[in-house]
Amino acid sequence: MASTPIESDIFRDLFGTEAMRRVFADDALVGHYLAIEAALARVQGRLGIIPAEAAAAIEAGARPDAIDMAALKAGTDRVGYPILPLVQQLAAACPGDLGQYCHWGATTQDIMDTALALQLREALALVDADLTALSAALADLAKRYRDTPMAARTHLQHALPTTFGYKAAVWLSSIERHRRRLAELKPRVLVGQFSGAAGTLASLGHDGLAVQDALMDELGLGRPDITWHVARDGLAEAVGFLGLVTGSLAKIATDVMLMMQTEVGEAFEPFAEGRGASSTMPQKRNPISCELILAAAANVRQQVAAMLGAMAHDHDRATGPWHVEWLAVPQAFILTAGAAGQALGMLQGLEVDTGRMRENLDMTGGLIVAEAVMMALAPHIGRQHAHDLVYDACRNAAAGRRPFLDVLADTPDIAKHLDRTRLSALIDPANYVGLAGEMVDRLLSELINKNSGK
């Protein structure tokens, strides 16, 4: 019986994805444990550390379908860790006394940490795919709306004109940085663990490092430079990375949510019958994906904090901080996958109302481009005097509810330098988007070059 939303049959696809849940599912985890035990036996048999027939027997017995999961649970409840009861079952499956060579020279945390590294490899591949898809969706929006003017807002007020393509390109830039971060962190995070009881490989003598190297090669994981039983910065970095990713998704969700406001109405989540509906207000179209993204991001942030706290392991094996990771890592990845899925569906089908964007730009009658008038006037009378004249014109237009153009044209110190035709062009917001288009082009060009391998 599920007891949390990320496991619930009702809620789980709002907050996660089936693919990411599979990565952290019990059967997948046990499969990793067994694969590591089999690889360890295989390597040690090849190196002559355990008998070849024992290695073959252990590998043959390391089958997930041969594990009694109820007995494994009971053993885990008793011991506090799953590896001892798992190894007991694996050893019992080997003929004669060959099972005694199971888990040779390893400690519980070696197996669990290495299994986690295998899970992270799969999980980060899913995140990588999500980021690639999000990048493509945002690049499409940036290109399609490169020249679509809209109001830029600072402190929730009209600032200057921008373009929606530029806004999408800003979102895109953060996703592209996350893709680079992911590529950079993988070598630090996808590292296996095999160091023995206190991390010194004492039980294997001079063969320890050879076994460690061969085991990492067998599993396709990085070789640790030294034991990381209590050095957990790599795992904290991985979850911290998820905090950055979901933080960027939350920024996008916040923008879309604000643009969906009735008073703004510039962009909307894709329409689906009944989605975002109210049980009592038929007119409602709530920003459901945005809300779910924001909730996921808030919870991932808490897992980041938990992982940072869990870095304080005591001495050479932690009494508690390790267990924090068991809770934090799966939740962080599942919630991140859920947020990415919601964002991708939203961005791929985003409904953009370019007409409403233009209406909102024009709602102040040109006040949004007062800076353009000031800058055009400044060469004639100086920037500060131009600022003061235009500032007064803005106040007069707003207070008297007069068209800004009329107020400007009726101000002698302005009109003698800028005629009405020039003023009319200056207060057209579409003429004052700066280098938004060129910035979009530059980012998209860099993306094309990156994806083509240049």
Query: Mean of the pLDDT values across residues 268-292?
Result: 73
| Mean pLDDT taken over the chain | 93
Q: Tell me, what's the pLDDT at 5?
A: 85
Q: Quick one: angle between helices 83-92 and 26-46, nearest 10? A: 60
Known catalytic residue: 387? no
Contact 185, 121 (CB under 8 A): no
The answer to whether residue 281 scores a pLDDT higher than 80 is no
The Cα–Cα gap between 163 and 141 comes to 11
Confidence of residue 283 (pLDDT cuts 50, 70, 90): low
Classify 185 as helix, strand or coil.
helix
Percent of the residues in the chain that have a pLDDT greater than 90, as a whole number:
80
Query: Mean of the pLDDT values across residues 98-118?
Result: 96
Known catalytic residue: 155? yes
pLDDT tens per residue across span 138-167: 999 999 999 999 999 999 999 999 999 999
The Cα–Cα gap between 38 and 40 comes to 5
Q: Tell me, what's the pLDDT at 366?
A: 85
pLDDT tens per residue across span 45-63: 999 999 999 999 999 999 9
The answer to whether residue 303 scores a pLDDT higher than 80 is yes
pLDDT tens per residue across span 58-92: 999 999 999 999 999 999 999 999 999 999 999 99
Structure-token pair, residue 75: 């053993």
Per-domain residue ranges for the chain? Answer: 17-104, 109-356, 367-427
Query: Which residue in the list 8, 32, 206, 278 is annotated as catalytic?
Result: 278
Topology of domain 367-427 in CATH is: Ribonucleotide Reductase Protein R1; domain 1 (1.10.40)
pLDDT tens per residue across span 361-418: 998 888 889 999 999 999 999 999 999 999 998 898 888 888 888 899 989 988 889 9
Query: Which residue in the list 3, 155, 206, 315 is annotated as catalytic?
Result: 155
Strand partners for 158: 153
Confidence of residue 11 (pLDDT cuts 50, 70, 90): confident
CATH class in words for 109-356: mainly alpha
Q: Tell me, what's the pLDDT at 13?
A: 82
Topology of domain 17-104 in CATH is: Fumarase C; Chain B, domain 1 (1.10.275)
Stated pTM of the model: 0.93
Longest Cα–Cα distance in the chain: 105
